[in-house]
Structure formats: C-alpha cells, structure tokens
C-alpha cells in the first residue's frame, strides 16, 4: 500500500509525458538478443526543423504501427530503419510514403486518446530471419507470463537515449488496479508494469514501440500495445494503446491507396 501511495504522489507531482514528443529507453532493462525482435523498427522523423526517433512494429510487408503522437507536427520526412540492434547500423532504410493518425487522437493532459497511427512504406519490406512482422493480438486473446517492452529510449529521465536496443519484462496491470492509480483509463488503454517506484518501464524515446505478450492460444509473441504515455520514468508503470481495440480501424487504413 505504501508503494501505491508513493506512486500516486509521484504521478500527481509530475506532468504527463507522451513518450516521444520529446523523444522515451527502457528503464531497468538489458540489451536485446540478436534478431530477438525482428518486427521492431526505429522511425526517424524530421519535423519542425528537428529530428526525432520513435519505435514501431512491422505488421506486414508494407505497414508499421506506431503512436499518433510520434507523427504529430509539421513532418517533412520519415523513414523506418530495421534489421539491427544498433540504430546507427540498420541494414534496411525505407521511406514512409504516407501515414494516417487516428482522427480522434488527442492529449488531454490526464490521458492520451486514440494514440495510434499506421505508416505505409514506399516499398515492400524483404523478410529475413531478422526482419519479419508480428501478429496483432485478437480482441479476446489471453496471455501467459510477463510481457516484454523494447526500445532505443532513455534508461532514466535524465539519461541519454540508447544506440542499442534494450528490453525488459513487465507484468500487465489489471485495469481495476490501474484505474485506482491513474485519472483516466479507458478500454482503448493497456497498463503494464509493477507499479513499484523505479521498477522496469518505458521512458523517453520508446514511444510507438511494441508491448509484446505470449499468446495463451499458440504460444507466439503477439503485439498487444503501443507505447503511449508515462511520467518521469520512475513510477514502474506506463500506459499503452490497446492494439486489439483498433483492429477494424487498422484494416480500413491499410486499404487506403498511398
């Protein structure tokens, strides 16, 4: 109970931070294994005269899923980089031909709504053992064990971003518990983390990256959430956009011709 009270105090004392507008690294994580997450992409975007990095998940040979806030602002160009743990040594760069943010995306201060975007690539991705898509979780799918977060963000609020992909295992937090800790948690959200101060979580630069869980149906790793928002990387808790909530919207967007 003391830890929960501390968490609430920390949240109320710090501003909500979408984890990519300032560009969020896995806190308390370790280096990912070679080819461990072949679907993870690094999104390199130029907007408002500056360069920004976000994470994303390859869902087929032409489309990447990321957070809407990663694609907000006056974007002049965007590319996805894939195929290496080191974002400086990516073997495959592909321009983004078009991106569509959810039309109801909005940061209202106490939460972020409809924080999801689909990127359509300029050309198809060639699959290899280290480059291939991830299956999106079904609406009623259940999971076993802990889930996994990964990204090139910061290891702490005042730390630099990582060049090498980091990963950590975190538990899904029941919605009932998350709702007691946070002002607004909706059906479109997934909470993950222990809720223990300074425990493993996402941080700045991890935005748009995947929350991956092991399916109870077939044991495969599936895409459950997209890194959306958190606070100052010390609450042991982050909020993700729930991918299964948007399956129909994603399918519709993918049908739009670039």
**CATH code (residue 105):** 2.40.10.10
pLDDT tens track, the chain, 258 positions: 444 444 444 443 445 655 444 333 478 889 999 999 999 999 999 988 889 999 999 999 999 999 999 999 999 999 999 999 999 999 999 999 999 999 999 999 999 999 999 999 999 999 999 999 999 999 999 999 999 999 998 877 777 788 999 999 999 999 999 999 998 999 999 999 999 999 999 998 899 999 999 999 999 999 999 999 988 888 999 999 999 999 999 999 998 876
The verdict on 107 and 143 lying in the same domain is no
Catalytic pick among 63, 69, 102, 189: 69
Is 142 in the same domain as 16? yes
Domain membership of residue 89 as a residue range: 40-133+248-254
Sequence-ordered alpha helix ranges (H) in the chain: 2-13, 175-181, 247-254
181 and 81, same structural domain? Answer: no
69 is catalytic: yes
Active site residue 63: no
Query: Pick the catalytic residue: 17, 78, 207, 244?
Result: 207
Q: Is the dihedral of CA 197, 12, 239, 71 positive or negative?
A: negative
Q: How many CB atoms lie within 10 A of CB 81?
A: 21
Domain count, the chain: 2
Active-site entry in 115, 199, 206, 234: 115
Q: Which residues contact 257 (CB under 8 A, 6 or more apart)?
A: none
Known catalytic residue at 25: no
Q: What is the pTM of this model?
A: 0.90
Are residue 151 and residue 234 in the same domain, yes or no? yes
Q: How far apart are CA 68 and CA 65, in angstroms?
A: 9
- Helix %, strand %, coil % of the chain (to 5): 15, 40, 45
55, 113: one domain: yes
Same domain membership, residue 73 and residue 167: no
Report the SS3 class of residue 87: helix
């Amino acid at each position: 109970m003391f830890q929960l009270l501390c968490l609430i105090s920390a949240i109320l004392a710090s501003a909500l931070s979408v984890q990519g507008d300032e560009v969020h690294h896995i806190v308390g994580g370790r280096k990912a294994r070679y080819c461990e997450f072949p679907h993870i992409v690094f999104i390199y975007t130029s907007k408002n005269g500056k360069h920004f990095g976000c994470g994303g998940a390859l869902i087929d040979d032409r489309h990447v899923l990321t957070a809407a806030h990663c694609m907000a602002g006056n974007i002049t160009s965007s590319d996805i980089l894939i195929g290496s743990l080191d974002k400086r040594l990516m073997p495959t760069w592909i321009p983004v031909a078009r991106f569509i943010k959810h039309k109801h995306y909005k940061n209202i201060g106490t939460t972020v709504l409809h924080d999801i975007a689909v990127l359509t690539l300029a050309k198809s991705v060639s699959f290899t053992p280290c480059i291939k898509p991830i299956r999106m979780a079904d609406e009623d799918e259940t999971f076993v064990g802990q889930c996994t977060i990964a990204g090139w963000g910061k290891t702490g609020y005042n730390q630099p971003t990582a060049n090498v992909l980091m990963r950590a295992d975190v538990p899904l937090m029941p919605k009932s518990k998350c709702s007691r800790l946070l002002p607004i948690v909706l059906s479109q959200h997934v909470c993950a983390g222990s809720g223990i101060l300074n425990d493993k979580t996402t941080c700045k630069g991890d935005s748009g990256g995947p929350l991956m869980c092991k399916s109870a149906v077939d044991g495969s790793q599936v895409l459950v959430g997209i890194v959306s928002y958190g606070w100052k990387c010390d609450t042991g808790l982050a909020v993700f956009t729930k991918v299964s909530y948007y399956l129909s919207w994603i399918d519709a967007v993918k049908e739009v011709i670039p």
